[in-house]
Structure 1
Amino acid sequence: MLPTTTHSADVMVTARHIVSWPRERNSLIPADCWRSAQRVTFRLPAVRRAVPVCRNLARAWLDGQGIDDDDTRYPVLLVISELFTNAVQYSAGRRVTCRIWRSESLLHIEVHDRGGTASVPLMRSAGQSQEYGRGLALVAGSSSRWGRRTEDDDSCTVWAAIPLAAGVPHPMTP
C-alpha cells in the first residue's frame, strides 16, 4: 500500500506533451523536481513514444529525491522502461499509469494498464535469437521482488521493489 502521510504529486501527460517532448518538459516537471513528493503518479497515453517521457519524468523525480546513486537509478529506470513498454504493447487501454514511491529502504514502482487483451504478463526464457521476451526477467533481476495483480475489470498492475543504495538519505531525515 502507498504511504498516507507523505506528499504526493499526480502528473497527467497528454498526447500534445508527447509530440512536443522535450519542449513540454518544463510544463510537467516543477522547478524542485518534486523534492517534497515522496510519491508521484504519471498518467500517460499508451503509445511507444511515451516510454522515454515516463523515464525522463522518473529521472527528474529521482533527482528531486536526492537519489543520484547509479546502483539505484539504473535499475529503477530499467524497470520503468520494461514495465511501461509491456503495458503499452499488451494493453488495449488508452492510458498507462506509473506510480513511484519510497519507503525507508525501497523504491516501489507500479505500472497499471486497463487490460483489454488476453495476454497476462509472464516471465519467459527467451532464446538468444529472440528479440522479445526478456523484459520481466530484467525486472526480476533488477528488483528485490516483483509481481502482478489482475483486477476483475481486466486491468493489470505489475509492480517491483528496488532497494535503495546505502547512504541514500530519506527526505524526512535532516
Structure 2
Amino acid sequence: MMTTAVRPPLSAPTREEDSMSTCFAIARRKDSEGLPPEDASRVGAMRRLVRARLKYCGLQRMSDDVAVIVSELLTNAILHSGGEQITFVMTVRDSSLHISVHDGMPGNLKIRPVNSDAETGRGLFLVASLVDAHHGTWGVSDAGATTWCSLPC
C-alpha cells in the first residue's frame, strides 16, 4: 500500500518549502531474485509522481534527470536493503531540490567497479554522475540507511 502526503504548491517553491513524501512496503525477496514486479511498478509510479510534482513546482526542466535519480535510488534500496519498507521524501527548500530514500537498514553504500559486460551495478555511478552534472551533492546518512541528494534549482 502506498500513501502519499503532498503539500499544496507554493507560488515561489524555491523560496519556501514544498514537500512530497511517501512510504510503501516492499516485497520479500531472496538475494538471487531481481526486482519483484510489484516493486518495479512502485518505482514506475514514483517516477510519474516525481515528474508531475516537479512540473507543478515549475521545475519540469529537471524532471528527466531527477526521474532517473529517483528510480535508481529506489531500486537500489529495494534490491540491497533487505528491509520491508521504503520512505521517499522530495523537498524544494532554499533554492534546492532535496531527495532522500530511507530503507531502514544500515549498510555500507558505495560505488563499485563493474565489468563492461555486466547488466546491472551502475545505479549509484549514474546517480553520482547526474548529481555532479547539476552541481549538486549526494551521500548517505543514518549509518547507510538513507541515501540522499541535493540539486540546485
TM over 0.5: yes
Percent identity over the alignment is: 31
The corresponding residue for 2:30 is none
The corresponding residue for 2:19 is 39
AA aligned opposite 2:146: T
Higher RCO structure (Cα 8 Å, ≥6 apart): 2
How many Å separate the matches in 1 of 2:8 and 2:53?
6
Larger Rg: 1 or 2?
1
AA aligned opposite 2:109: P
Structure 2 counterpart SS, 1:49: helix
TM-score normalised according to structure 1 size: 0.66
CA displacement at 1:29 relative to structure 2: 8.8
Gaps of 5+ in 2: 11-16, 27-38
Match of 1:92 among 82, 91, 94: 82
Please say if 1:106 is aligned against 2:107: no
TM-score normalised according to structure 2 size: 0.75
The corresponding residue for 2:66 is 76
Whether the aligned pair in 1 keeps the contact of 2:72 and 2:127 (CA below 8 Å) is yes
Structure 1 counterpart SS, 2:101: strand
Gaps of 5+ in 1: 1-11, 15-27, 165-174
Higher helix content, 1 or 2:
2
Whether the aligned pair in 2 keeps the contact of 1:149 and 1:158 (CA below 8 Å) is yes
The corresponding residue for 2:118 is 130
Instruction: Kindly provide the CA deviation profile for residues 8-39 of structure 1, in whole angstroms up to 9, marking residues without a partner as x.
Output: xxxx716xxxxxxxxxxxxx698xx9424701
The corresponding residue for 2:128 is 140
The corresponding residue for 2:14 is none
CA displacement at 1:62 relative to structure 2: 0.9
Question: Superposition RMSD on alpha carbons, in Å?
Answer: 2.4
Aligned length in residues: 131
